[in-house]
């Protein structure tokens, strides 16, 4: 099997597997227990919190461990909105957000909150000029994904935060795709809250983290919750958290090396597609003005629905995607892809290839051969 869907999930790295095994055998106590086993787990949790804060340039007190990116998004946004003054009932999110944010928006609407979904500019960017017309006196929060999981397009959050903070508006960002792949500094970016996930950086599934800048007003979603300083309920998964931190540290230490490899693989793939005249159109055209995650390549295969292309690749032993894994059960066009100007029909032709630490040129050659065969099938069908 050739796996080219790393934006959806990654295998656990050796560093994470080792820590996870050791922790489950030797430090399995409940971090809330008062005996020595609990104390060891609590110390490990505190140490992990500090290491995670160091990786994002934040404060240890602002780290709250969760079950993943979706829970981080849902708890962070609701907790901030709960903590804002009663008249701040309006919030904004970009049209490029993860599926979990759209689900949350539906729920919050029933709680009396009003949402504005902001479309990006023609380049796919959420800019000051895009946001300003939608800011109100009762706007309390803006949520802009750091990089979209289907396109890899990175947003310039540092350019947005001063505009919002001078109006008393909080800024949250879903950084699930960027964490471990590009440098993140919450202070430099000016974000008040951040969401990250373990299984995108070669850690275990079911683990993630939320960052709430100390001093940011918030109230818990679940009243009287005891764990994570009231942020979420449930016994803390200390072994999973320790493994998450080990994987994240490995990724951040090797970040530049991996990005250079991904950029090389991306250029090679694009060149081979052009040489074979395969009818792919890139969702995000290559440009020096656009910052992108090099390991995510989103494109449209003219003449085929993305699900058909994905299934044909799978039949040949290659795993690719038609978009966010969390929305894979829905065949509706992706809101993020349509927000970038694609028609409904074109959005259904979307496929995503995403590279990982072990992806090779040889694996890409196999994929290119499959796409070439599909192109020839299409040509034969049109010539009849």
pTM of the model: 0.93
Q: Which two tokens stand for residue 351?
A: 């496929």
Q: Which two tokens stand for residue 342?
A: 């694609």
pLDDT, tens only, 301-355 = 999 999 999 999 999 999 999 865 555 555 567 788 888 888 888 889 999 999 9
Q: Specify the pLDDT at position 263.
A: 95
Q: Beta strand pairing status for 170-174 and 139-143? A: parallel
Q: Specify the pLDDT at position 370.
A: 97
**Is CATH 3.40.640.10 correct for 14-252?**
yes
Return the bridge partners of 142, or none: 92, 171
Q: Specify the pLDDT at position 325.
A: 53
Question: Mean pLDDT of residues grouped by 10 in the chain (384 residues)?
Answer: 97 97 86 76 92 98 97 97 96 95 93 95 93 97 96 96 97 98 97 98 98 96 86 92 98 95 96 96 75 94 94 97 62 78 86 97 98 89 68
* Residue 55 near residue 46 (C-beta atoms within 8 A): no
- The domain limits of the chain are 2-8+254-378, 14-252
Q: Which two tokens stand for residue 41?
A: 């787990």
Secondary structure (3-state) at 161: helix
**Is CATH 3.30.499.10 correct for 2-8+254-378?**
no
Q: Which alpha helices (H) appear in the chain, and where do they start and end?
A: 14-26, 36-56, 69-83, 99-110, 128-131, 161-165, 186-189, 238-253, 255-275, 306-315, 335-339, 344-347, 361-383
CA-to-CA distance for 121 and 129, rounded, in angstroms?
9
CA-to-CA distance for 370 and 311, rounded, in angstroms?
11
* Residue 192 near residue 163 (C-beta atoms within 8 A): no
Q: Which two tokens stand for residue 220?
A: 């818990």
Cβ atoms within 10 A of the Cβ of 355, count? 27
Q: Specify the pLDDT at position 351.
A: 96
Q: Could you check whether 2-8+254-378 and 14-252 share the same CATH topology?
A: no
Residues tagged active-site: 326
* Residue 292 near residue 153 (C-beta atoms within 8 A): yes
CA-to-CA distance for 132 and 302, rounded, in angstroms?
36
Sequence-distant (≥ 6) Cβ neighbours of residue 241 within 8 angstroms: 44, 45, 48, 65, 207
Q: Which two tokens stand for residue 207?
A: 């683990």
The per-residue DSSP string of 15-30 comes to HHHHHHHHHHHH--S-
CA-to-CA distance for 322 and 199, rounded, in angstroms?
19
By CB atoms closer than 10 A (0-12, 13-18, 19+), residue 266 is: buried
Q: Residues 113-127, buried b or exposed e (16+ Cβ, 10 A)?
A: bebebbebeeebbbb
Sequence-distant (≥ 6) Cβ neighbours of residue 285 within 8 angstroms: none
């Amino acid at each position: 099997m050739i796996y080219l869907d790393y934006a959806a999930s990654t295998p656990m790295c050796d560093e994470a597997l080792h820590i996870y095994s050791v922790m489950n055998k030797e430090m399995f106590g409940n971090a809330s227990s008062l005996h020595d086993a609990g104390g060891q787990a609590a110390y490990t949790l505190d140490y992990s919190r500090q290491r995670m804060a160091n990786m994002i340039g934040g404060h240890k007190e602002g780290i709250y461990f969760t079950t993943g990116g979706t829970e981080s998004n849902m708890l962070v946004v609701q907790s901030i909105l709960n903590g804002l003054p009663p008249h701040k009932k309006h919030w904004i999110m970009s049209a490029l957000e993860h599926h979990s944010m759209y689900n949350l928006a539906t729920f919050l609407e029933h709680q009396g909150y009003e949402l504005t979904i902001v479309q990006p500019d023609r380049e796919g960017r959420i800019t000051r000029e895009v946001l300003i017309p939608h800011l109100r006196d009762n706007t309390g929060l803006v949520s802009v994904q750091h990089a979209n999981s289907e396109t890899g397009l990175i947003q310039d959050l540092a350019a947005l935060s001063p505009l919002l903070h001078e109006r008393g508006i909080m800024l949250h960002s879903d950084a699930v795709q960027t964490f471990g792949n590009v440098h993140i500094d919450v202070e430099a970016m000016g974000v008040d809250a951040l969401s990250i996930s373990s299984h995108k950086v070669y850690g275990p599934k079911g683990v993630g983290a939320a960052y709430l800048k100390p001093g940011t007003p918030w109230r818990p979603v679940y009243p009287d919750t005891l764990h994570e300083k009231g942020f979420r309920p449930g016994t803390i998964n200390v072994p999973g958290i320790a493994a998450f931190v080990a994987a994240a540290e490995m990724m951040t230490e090797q970040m530049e090396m991996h990005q250079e490899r991904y950029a090389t693989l991306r250029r090679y793939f694009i060149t081979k597609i052009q040489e074979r005249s395969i009818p792919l159109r890139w969702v995000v055209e290559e440009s020096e003005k656009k910052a992108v995650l090099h390991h995510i390549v989103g494109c449209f295969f003219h003449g085929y629905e993305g699900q058909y292309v994905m299934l044909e690749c799978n039949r040949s032993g290659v795993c690719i995607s038609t978009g966010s894994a969390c929305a894979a059960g829905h065949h509706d066009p992706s809101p993020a892809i349509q927000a970038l100007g694609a028609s409904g029909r074109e959005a259904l032709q979307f496929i995503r290839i995403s590279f990982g630490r072990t992806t090779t040129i040889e694996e890409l050659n196999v994929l290119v051969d499959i796409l070439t065969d599909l192109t020839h099938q299409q040509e034969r069908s049109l010539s009849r």
